[in-house]
Structure 1
Amino acid sequence: MFGNLNSNIVLLLCCMLLSLPLSAAPIPIPVHGHFAFSGNEFAARDFGNQLHSLPWAVLHPKKASDVAATIKHVWQMGPAASLTVAARGHGHSLQGQAQAPQGIVVNMESLRGPHEMHLVKGGPSSPYVDTPAGELWINVLHHCLKHGLAPKSWTDYLHLTVGGTLSNAGISGQAFRHGPQISNVRQLEVITGKGDLVVCSDDNNADLFHAVLGGLGQFGIITRARISLEPAPKMVKWIRVLYSDFATFARDQERLISAEKTFDYIEGLVIVNRTGLINNWRSSFNPQDPDQASHFVSDGRTLFCLELTKNFNPDDEADIDKEIKWLLSELSYIPSTLFVTQVSYVEFLDRVHAAELKMRSKGLWDLPHPWLNLLVPRSKIHTFADGVFGNILTDTNNGPVLIYPLNKSKWDNRTSFVTPDEDVFYLVAFLPHAAESEGLQNLLNQNRRILNFCDAAELGVKQYLPHYKTQEEWRAHFGARWEIFAQRKSAYDPLAILAPGQRIFQKSISIL
């Protein structure tokens, strides 16, 4: 059913959508939810706030079958129809990736709800939660905590949909140990570009399962996901220490991610020409000695912050404190810059949301976000740091810059995601906001200078949350993996109906 629209209006609108004469009007699509043909400005925007493309319609599904019926209908119209379909989660794409110009956007959050999440505690394998892909990770967390459990791997920001992060990778400071979120999925329910609803896993329809994980929405729309869980701690010791020397900072990070006994979360930040370092970072870190923290300034220097956590339950606190003391004794940070706080597990995982509320109150959250996320091979990270930090990047006052190493052994190379071809590589994320158009252009120019430097120095960098304008650039991004990527597209979405905002394939144009 199409909400309150009668069938004649639906036929007319479908003709408009498909540029067909009324006599060629298709049969109305049978859905339990509804289509909206106005008031869809939200679907033309995203967190990046740079590209804005209004769709012809937004589908608000009630069941996965609504998504399947819609895609099946577009598929059956054949290549002559220009209509495309994009899944939209919570709208945190950066470059219009979840938009469908003149097409249909599927509002995936319409499928979410606590009654749709099912948790299985035990059995022959580890516990898991079965959740709609349109559910927010923060809600998955709260649901699992009722049973003393939690997912293993996270993103820094939890107000994102499950399907959205699994279509990319899902990376945070736990990924060195557990891998990204796409390495912790047991099963998926997927709607392919032909409108087929397929349940897939490592053992069943494995090629589609691996294609969709990190697949940028190109092979199917994820409608449900089964996520592995582990016992959840109650509390977190949250630590920040500073370095003035990048080589020492990188060496300590790499030592920690390779150690058997180590911290539970490891991330780094770059601080260039900034004051008020501790209390003005991007999250609600409140050190136990705020006076000491507030007096620490960078004096125009480039500094590097190592951010660490250790999870614990109250009965284990004394032992955890001893372990932290030993772990810190192995590091070579500036001794006077040890800042410590203690928060609940939920407070730590949801730390960026606390910063979001502050930014919203200042009108900063909805500004353009010209972010740039890179994966840099370990062998090239010092060249990258020398060329970028303090040279191309002259301050970090518009937003944080993250840098931390990851272990390639924790990534599944059968998925669509591509990484540098080294055992260890670094995530380097430039996460600014632009207060005015001139500032936006300056930040975009800075991003281009960074990418040009990487190309000229032949660093072998890969983009995370990639954005390219031509298929030639996409071919270069995937490298030797391009052929299998294109073959999977031909198998699961041969008309290139899905995710047009990624700008990888164009409908009605040959894929291979």
Structure 2
Amino acid sequence: MSNLGKLKPWNPSIPPELFSLNISSKLSTNSDDIKESSKDFGKIVQKILPAAVLYPSCANDIIDLIQFSYDLSVPFHVAAKGHGHSIRGQAMAQNGVIVEMNSLNNNNENCGVRVSWDSDLGFYADVGGEQLWIDVLRSTLEYGLAPVSWTDYLYLTVGGTLSNAGISGQIFRYGPQISNVHEMDVITGKGELVTCSKDKNSELFFGVLGGLGQFGIIIRAKIVLDKAPTRELKKLVQGLNYLGGFMFKKDVTFVEFLNRVRKGQIELELKGMWDVPHPWLNLFVPKSNIMQFNAAVFEDIILRQNKPTGPILVYPTSRKRYTHPPPHQPPSFNIYI
């Protein structure tokens, strides 16, 4: 995360005064903790070790850490780590401090998942940034509700996906997860806890959503909810033009469908294939270039050259579904992801 207003080089080490703060008992320099916090899902970037790991019990612990770094003439790196599913070391902090966001789950006084209703907003959930989407799903379904936009894999933190985009098959209809947030509590690079929305501190709000963690750490997000879908197989099939012999169905519940990647994860874990390097790549391709991309990648590299590959997912969508397209998107009205 950036420390706002700091233009000097980063401190190559953390100052010993850090361990005299009130959060000292929640800081660890244990070699096992250091090693564990320096891993991510990608398994590509190696040996970027933090100097310490913070296990916060509340937002104030994170505030104390960032304020301490900001007040130094030369700050040190601070990075928030959720479930560790970055691909290329984005949640690492060499010689700095990793904030293990999952630790916030140990305090029942933190936000967790709270479902509410508002006459202007409708149903929504106040969700802690450390919460996994699978837990958000389970909690909201108790009320017959669910978020409208998902990722294909649910064992990711809310703060993590909102710091990127949060993309899945629902994007063509509802947009990414970052387009379905009413409000957030964010700890800025100055160590200030700020509530922001499209109408309040909007510059921070739109900077943090899809901002890759460079503008703050998401502590709480107010997520859009709608009624959870019910099964309507007959209605879906009616009106479609198809040959009866080619129709097939796979009967799964709403939760099983959303959590479908979890089954594949368990199978790969049993084969020892889950903890291997994942050189995955996400691309935003403008509609104007999709045919060239198809010819060069799908038809040439994959089919003609027969290069081995993993799963390929393509999501056509319109920028209309983005309330604020992230700066890394191409300037095209329609895009393929």
Residue 227 of structure 2 corresponds to: 231
Percent of pairs with identical residues = 44
Counterparts of 1:330-479 in structure 2 under 5 Å? Answer: 338-394=247-303, 395=306, 398-413=309-324, 416-427=326-337
Equivalent residue in structure 2 for 1:76, among 71, 76, 88: 71
Preserved contact between residue 57 and residue 107 of structure 2 (Cα < 8 Å): no
Preserved contact between residue 150 and residue 167 of structure 2 (Cα < 8 Å): yes
Gap change, CA 1:26 and 1:158, over 3 Å in 2: closer
Query: What's the CA shift string for 1:375-407, capped at 9, x where partnerless?
Result: 111122111111111311245754201112011
Equivalent residue in structure 2 for 1:61, among 56, 63, 71: 56
Residue 168 of structure 2 corresponds to: 172
SS at match of 2:250: strand
**Alpha-carbon deviation of 1:418?**
3.2
Larger Cα-atom Rg: 1
Pair 1:45 & 2:39 matched: yes
| Alignment-mate amino acid for residue 189 of structure 2 | G
Preserved contact between residue 135 and residue 162 of structure 1 (Cα < 8 Å): yes
Q: Measure the CA separation in 1 of the matches of 2:261 and 2:18.
A: 46
**Alpha-carbon deviation of 1:122?**
4.2
Number of residue pairs the alignment of both structures matches:
319
**Alpha-carbon deviation of 1:335?**
8.2
Equivalent residue in structure 2 for 1:34, among 20, 23, 26: 26
Residue 325 of structure 1 corresponds to: 238
Gap change, CA 1:193 and 1:114, over 3 Å in 2: closer
Gap change, CA 1:114 and 1:386, over 3 Å in 2: farther
| Alignment-mate amino acid for residue 54 of structure 1 | L
Q: Measure the CA separation in 1 of the matches of 2:101 and 2:209.
A: 17
Preserved contact between residue 32 and residue 62 of structure 1 (Cα < 8 Å): no
Counterparts of 1:13-24 in structure 2 under 5 Å? Answer: 17-18=13-14
**Alpha-carbon deviation of 1:422?**
2.2
Preserved contact between residue 12 and residue 95 of structure 2 (Cα < 8 Å): no
Gap change, CA 1:33 and 1:185, over 3 Å in 2: farther
Counterparts of 1:464-503 in structure 2 under 5 Å? Answer: none
Preserved contact between residue 319 and residue 333 of structure 2 (Cα < 8 Å): yes
Q: Measure the CA separation in 2 of the matches of 1:397 and 1:114.
A: 46
Residue 489 of structure 1 corresponds to: none
SS at match of 2:23: coil
Preserved contact between residue 302 and residue 309 of structure 2 (Cα < 8 Å): no
Q: Give the gaps of 5 or more residues in structure 1.
A: 1-14, 235-311, 428-512
Preserved contact between residue 58 and residue 107 of structure 2 (Cα < 8 Å): no
Residue 125 of structure 1 corresponds to: 121
Q: Measure the CA separation in 2 of the matches of 1:48 and 1:351.
A: 20
Preserved contact between residue 33 and residue 62 of structure 1 (Cα < 8 Å): no
| Alignment-mate amino acid for residue 145 of structure 1 | L
Q: Measure the CA separation in 1 of the matches of 2:246 and 2:28.
A: 54
Pair 1:86 & 2:82 matched: no
TM-score (norm 1): 0.59
SS at match of 2:151: coil
Q: Measure the CA separation in 1 of the matches of 2:315 and 2:244.
A: 21
Preserved contact between residue 32 and residue 66 of structure 1 (Cα < 8 Å): no
Preserved contact between residue 59 and residue 104 of structure 1 (Cα < 8 Å): yes
Q: Measure the CA separation in 2 of the matches of 1:342 and 1:160.
A: 25
Gap change, CA 1:33 and 1:138, over 3 Å in 2: farther
Q: Measure the CA separation in 2 of the matches of 1:399 and 1:65.
A: 42
Deviates more, 1:120-129 or 1:69-78: 120-129
SS at match of 1:406: strand
Residue 104 of structure 1 corresponds to: 97
Q: Give the gaps of 5 or more residues in structure 2.
A: 1-10
Pair 1:219 & 2:215 matched: yes
Residue 185 of structure 2 corresponds to: 189
Gap change, CA 1:62 and 1:325, over 3 Å in 2: same
**Alpha-carbon deviation of 1:112?**
2.8
Gap change, CA 1:33 and 1:135, over 3 Å in 2: farther
Q: Measure the CA separation in 2 of the matches of 1:51 and 1:89.
A: 17
**Alpha-carbon deviation of 1:77?**
1.1
Residue 4 of structure 2 corresponds to: none
**Alpha-carbon deviation of 1:367?**
0.4
**Alpha-carbon deviation of 1:99?**
0.5
Residue 468 of structure 1 corresponds to: none
Q: Measure the CA separation in 1 of the matches of 2:293 and 2:54.
A: 44
